[in-house]
Amino acid sequence: MRAFIFPGQGSQSVGMGKALADASVHAREVFQEVDDALGQNLFKLMSEGPESDLTLTENAQPAIMANAIATLRVLEIEGGISLADKAQYVAGHSLGEYSALCAAGAFDLGTTARLLKVRGQAMQAAVPVGVGAMAALLGADIDTAQKLADASAAEGEIVTVANDNDPSQVVISGHKAAVERAVGLVKDYGIKRGVLLPVSAPFHCPLMQPAAEAMAAALTENAPNAPVVPVIANVTAAPVSDAETIRNLLVQQVTGRVRWRESVRAMEEIGVAHFVELGGKVLTPMVKRSATGEVETSSIITMDDIEALLKSL
């Protein structure tokens, strides 16, 4: 079995998608459709920067999605394949879950772009800049990270596990002082290193509740359809195909933990042996570290990558 997987925030870079757009009219059509849906020249920002603007959450989220879907569309149209024939599951990391749902037909491209714009704006607005923070714990498993988070939360401050990425990397999120306190305590818990992340808000923690409410409203107006293949949901690490359940899980995802390690293992247990990352190369190392057995991974970014994948499908 095969799963198509989609990267999350942090995978953006100036120049993303440009070579693909230069090589394929179908990629250009995706970027133009996203620009039209948002009423902004996002592709110009993706191509030329500045990086500071591309990194803004409200721009990075739709940009990463657009790049992934452009890659998929070139693969499907120029390769003469369909996702439903070549993948049994889709999954995405945080915002990548929206890319996965778009790829599987739960949302059309324009709706996905607008939802991610709202999501990015709502996440940024939920917590004043400087109040929250996130940190990566390197060499930490989930149980140790949870103990550290519990010990660092004090006097009403929040710090919680936001991303369970793989057996050696967990991300915590919450009030800045509590997260900084946790980073200062890593050695006491046998964790190799704690690194504050250059993010503008504390994602995937209870401080994001205002953003969850904004997404609940947006997803009521733009309800998903049933996907053509099941999506492995971030907050449950389990396959889901029911449209209403997907909507509810997307709302929960804003404040909930990204269970990526568990998602990979769930797919592996189902029988997925080939993980294809579209539009990035961030998730495939996490997949290899999370899988309990031998799995095949492919990172598809360039036309050469697409051609190589088509030969193997």
Q: Give, for 297, the enclosing helix (H) or strand (E).
A: strand 296-300
Q: Is 204 a catalytic residue?
A: yes
242-266 residue pLDDT tens: 999 999 999 999 999 999 999 999 9
Residue 166 DSSP SS3: strand
67-85 residue pLDDT tens: 999 999 999 999 999 999 9
Please compute the mean of the pLDDT values over residues 160-167 and round it to a whole number. Answer: 97
Q: List the chain domain ranges.
A: 2-126+207-312, 132-199
* Domains 2-126+207-312 and 132-199 agree in fold: no
Q: Judge whether residue 46 has pLDDT over 90.
A: yes
Please compute the mean of the pLDDT values over residues 219-243 and round it to a whole number. Answer: 98
Q: What is the third-level CATH fold of 2-126+207-312?
A: Malonyl-Coenzyme A Acyl Carrier Protein; domain 2 (3.40.366)
Among 93, 175, 204, 274, the one annotated catalytic: 204
Please compute the mean of the pLDDT values over residues 100-123 and round it to a whole number. Answer: 97
Peptide bond into 50 cis (omega under 30): yes
Give residue for tokens 């449950």. Answer: 236
Please compute the mean of the pLDDT values over residues 164-190 and round it to a whole number. Answer: 97
284-305 residue pLDDT tens: 999 999 999 999 999 999 999 9
Give residue 171's Cα distance to chain centre.
14
pLDDT for 154 equals: 80
Among 11, 24, 94, 290, the one annotated catalytic: 94
Give residue 105's Cα distance to chain centre.
17
Q: Is 93 a catalytic residue?
A: no
Please compute the mean of the pLDDT values over residues 13-19 and round it to a whole number. Answer: 95
- Non-local CB neighbours of 28 within 8 Å, separated by 6+ positions: 21
Residue 271 banded pLDDT, cuts 50, 70, 90: very high
Q: Read off the amino acid at residue 183.
A: V
Residue 11 banded pLDDT, cuts 50, 70, 90: confident
Residue 198 banded pLDDT, cuts 50, 70, 90: confident
pLDDT for 167 equals: 96
CATH code assigned to 132-199: 3.30.70.250
Residue 189 banded pLDDT, cuts 50, 70, 90: very high
Residue 99 banded pLDDT, cuts 50, 70, 90: very high
Please compute the mean of the pLDDT values over residues 130-153 and round it to a whole number. Answer: 95
For residue 135, what are the β-bridge partners?
A: 172, 196
Residue 259 DSSP SS3: coil
pLDDT for 10 equals: 83
CA 119, 125, 129 angle in degrees (round to 5)? 125
Confidence (pTM): 0.96
Q: Tell me the C-alpha distance between 72 and 152, whole Å.
A: 42
Give residue for tokens 């050695």. Answer: 187
pLDDT for 9 equals: 87
Residue 156 banded pLDDT, cuts 50, 70, 90: confident
Q: Judge whether residue 267 has pLDDT over 80.
A: yes
